[in-house]
Amino acid sequence: MSAPSSSQTRTTQDRYYTRVSNEPALIERAEPTVWGSESSAGMYGAQELHGHAEKGFSQVPQLLTPDEVAGYAAELDRLATDPLVRADDRCIVEKKSDEVRSIFEVHRISDAIARLVADERVVGRARQILGSDVYVHQSRINYKPGFGGGGFYWHSDFETWHAEDGMPTPRAVSCSISLTENYPYNGCLMIMPGSHRTFVSCVGETPEDNYRSSLKEQEIGTPDPDSLTALANRHGIAMLTGKAGSATFFDSNCMHGSGDNITPYPRSNIFIVFNSVENACVEPYYAPKRRPEYIGARDFTPVC
């Protein structure tokens, strides 16, 4: 796989170039995955941080108590049925069923989720992984109801956040907190362990207002089959199952996705993206303009 040629419409010295070449490329990551240590304030020990650095993710089996899970599940139901929330641009519906798929910037809509974001069990781990104060780059609820909850195709979040939000490097971590049981068969999160070390440069220019379609079904910024096959053959695929209340922290450059949910069992989660304050976003690298702030924040105030 080759880098862009001088004859192409846009060239760049950016290490993580994407959407500017007619051919995809696999680019090795330059930055570390874990910036802090076990001596940093946080809840991870040395072995857990080492595992996170190696695999690109770490799981916390019981981050929330059963009572907390019930409370947040009720909050998700309230938000999904609130007509004002449904009418808000931050609410994304399924392409086929018109059911609620995601609600963005949810920590600004819900006081309960705002408190969860600032909970040391959550933000403390993010600070420890990133080795700095952090801010919320994005928050959302993902609903995946039974009998029709749509999947998320294979992608690296950093590819989109770099191209469309102007995130300089992959010094960000996502926290996915499950509010339902995650089975192998109800659209659980799948990650290629170790894939965070390789950036996949994608083909296809970013169209104007790409987010309007990509939040329902992403097409631009998705890896090509050959690159996905190479990463899968190299790293394998982990299916991240677990009880309600469990959490997964994963690196922004992990190759991940999830399938459609055709079972009767719903799968919903709270999703929080923490970015280092030392990695604050600039202008988009490969998009005509910034995405709305409810998708890619421009308020870099640290969580405290």
pLDDT at 199: 98
pLDDT tens for residues 189-235? Answer: 999 999 999 999 999 889 876 766 555 455 678 899 999 999 999 99
> What percent of the chain has a predicted confidence (pLDDT) above 70?
91
Segment 118-124 shows an average pLDDT of 97
Assess contact for 170 and 216: CB atoms under 8 A: no
pTM of the model: 0.90
Model confidence at 75: pLDDT above 90: yes
Return d(Cα 263, Cα 289) in angstroms, integer: 39
Beta bridge partners of 200: 26
pLDDT tens for residues 129-144? Answer: 999 999 999 999 988 8
Segment 69-76 shows an average pLDDT of 95
Instruction: Compute CA 228 distance to the chain's CA centroid, rounded to the nearest angstrom.
Output: 18
CA distances from 226 to 23, 185, 222 (A): 11, 25, 12
Residue 171 tokens, joined: 């010094």
Strands (E), the chain: 25-28, 57-60, 91-93, 100-104, 134-144, 152-156, 172-178, 189-191, 198-201, 238-240, 247-251, 255-258, 267-276
